[in-house]
Amino acid sequence: MKNQLRYGKLKYISFVLLNLLCLAGANMLAAWVYMNTHNTRRHRYSYADHWSIVVFMLVIDVFITIAFNTLNRVLMRRALKELVESIKHVALSFVLLALVLFTTKLGADYSRFTVYLAYIIDLILLVGTHIAWKELLRRLLKRGRTPTALLMTTDKFLDEGIDTLTKSGVDVRAIFLLKAGKGQSRDDIDEVQTEDEATACICWTPLDRVYIYGLDHQMIPEKLKHACEEMGVAIDFVDFEYRILELKTVANEDPKYGALSFLEGKRDIPFPIRRVYWITQTEADQHRGFHAHKQNCQLLFCPHGKIDIILDDGSNEKKTVTLDGPRKGLLLMPGLWREMVWRESGSVLCVLASEYYDEKEYIRNYDEFIAYRNRETLPRGDGMT
């Protein structure tokens, strides 16, 4: 409920009011049915007697909504889920009302009939009005203004991610950060802290897209994918091609003890590490590589020696990054042609990869690579900056 109120206060309250209206309407209908099916002269139906019970029902309805969070993700629910949740809501309300009536001995005998009937009518009204109101809200909030987005990234790439999206005219409404340690955030944009909050944000905030920046597809939580699917929000990648990272290094005061560098999963590496490999005993001036990956994200580093990594995005311009020490890492997103040149004999190349080895995921033919680049439509950030 906290999330709903944070991300869609008015929409959430509109559903609470709708529930109360349904219950009030159901009671009126039930009373009308009672009056027309029973000999009221004998049963002497009095609205005044029944009124206190209706008030109890309304109070209990709000209590159940809040205590059991029965409006949780109401905008995402499909018809069957809506039916199940509405049954849960009505059944809980009914049990609580029964307890109240049992302990207070309130209400006349004939109230029982109207209460049973009112809850049955309420259930039908709830399911129907929820579905209709959801559809109406969706149409009312139909986008078409400036495109709005939730950005999922790590704190390392936060500013450039926002800049890239802002430059392409996207209004970043919220950020979902994977933080390295304490991490940075932004005061001007709402930050979503957990998967549940992200899901609530997608459900209650009018968003056009979720953008993933600098992260591998495997880092997208299932809950978030599901929420996007249900709410019709597309997930897109806005990727840079590569980044040079400074690897954390602890140097000893006495240089003869050397330095210790390290990388931590999730904190430093924006993909799950599926594979680690290293290339050793290569002589100077040898060339390796000559391929691109369709899916594999990699982090390359050279703890010993000097290796040039020549990167090619299919345009005429190639970029060379020299890995020449344990403090330097190269993060490569998929879709780049790479060639490695050993500048010093015996240099060691270490690679952390997001995918298991799969030959089908490689592009080893340059013409095929160019065709692939022309085909693929991923929006790119600053290109090969």
Strand partners, 234: 209
Enumerate residues 150-169 that contact ligand TYD by CB under 6 A: none
Quote the tokens at residue 172: 């970043």
Q: SS3 for 192?
A: strand
CB of 168 to ligand TYD, least distance (A): 34
Report the residue number, 120 or 279, with the smaller CB distance to ligand TYD.
279
- Binding region for ligand TYD (CB under 6 A) out of 58-66, 142-150, 204-212, 286-294: 286-294
Q: Could you say whether residue 116 binds ligand TYD (CB under 6 A)?
A: no
What count of Cα atoms within 13 Å lies in the side-chain half-sphere of residue 368? 11
From 181, 178, 266, 174, select the one nearest 211 (Cα to Cα). Answer: 174
- Binding region for ligand TYD (CB under 6 A) out of 58-66, 105-113, 143-151, 272-280: 272-280
Which residue in the list 89, 291, 293, 304 is annotated as catalytic? 291
Q: Biggest alpha carbon distance in the chain?
A: 106
CB of 276 to ligand TYD, least distance (A): 9
Backbone angles phi, psi at 39, to 5 degrees: -75, 95
Q: Could you say whether residue 274 binds ligand TYD (CB under 6 A)?
A: no
CA distance 307 to 328: 11
CB of 362 to ligand TYD, least distance (A): 7
Report the residue number, 113 or 362, with the smaller CB distance to ligand TYD.
362
Pick the binder of ligand TYD from 206, 221, 289, 314 (CB under 6 A): 289
Instruction: With residue 119 as reference, give the H or E element that holds it.
Output: helix 109-140
Pick the binder of ligand TYD from 6, 179, 186, 275 (CB under 6 A): 275
Enumerate residues 354-383 that contact ligand TYD by CB under 6 A: 357
The footprint of ligand TYD on this chain (CB under 6 A) covers a number of residues equal to 7
Residue 187 makes CB contacts below 8 A (sequence gap 6+) with none
From 365, 373, 363, 354, select the one nearest 292 (Cα to Cα). Answer: 363
Q: Could you say whether residue 278 binds ligand TYD (CB under 6 A)?
A: no
CB of 212 to ligand TYD, least distance (A): 25
Cβ proximity of 240 and 214 under 8 Å? yes
Q: SS3 for 139?
A: helix
Q: Could you confirm whether 291 is annotated as catalytic?
A: yes
CB of 359 to ligand TYD, least distance (A): 7
Pick the binder of ligand TYD from 277, 358, 376, 382 (CB under 6 A): 277
CA distance 374 to 17: 52
CA distance 87 to 71: 12
- Binding region for ligand TYD (CB under 6 A) out of 38-46, 158-166, 193-201, 271-279: 271-279
- Which residues lie near ligand TYD (CB under 6 A)? 275, 277, 279, 288-289, 291, 357
